[in-house]
Amino acid sequence: MSRLLPHPLLSLALTLTWLLLNAPPTPGNVLLALAVGLAVPAVMRALEPRPVRLRAPSAIARLIGIFLYDMVRSNIDVARVVLNPRPCERRTGFITVPLELREPAGLTVLAVILTATPGTLWVQYDSDTGCLLLHVLDFTEDSDWEARIKDRYERPLLEIFAGVSA
Nearest distance from C-beta of residue 1 to another protein, angstroms: 27
Sites for another protein among residues 120-149 (CB under 8 A): 121-126, 129, 131-133, 135, 137
The interaxial angle of helices 104-116 and 57-83, nearest 10 deg, is 30
Residue with smaller CB distance to another protein, 51 or 69? 69
112 is a site residue for another protein (CB under 8 A): yes
Helix segments in 45-86, DSSP class H: 57-83
Give every CB contact of residue 164 below 8 A, 6+ residues apart in sequence.
Answer: 102, 103, 106
Sites for another protein among residues 59-78 (CB under 8 A): 71-72, 75, 78
Residue with smaller CB distance to another protein, 124 or 140? 124
Nearest distance from C-beta of residue 35 to another protein, angstroms: 19
Give the angle subtended at the CA of 108 by the CAs of 81 and 124, to the nearest 5°.
60
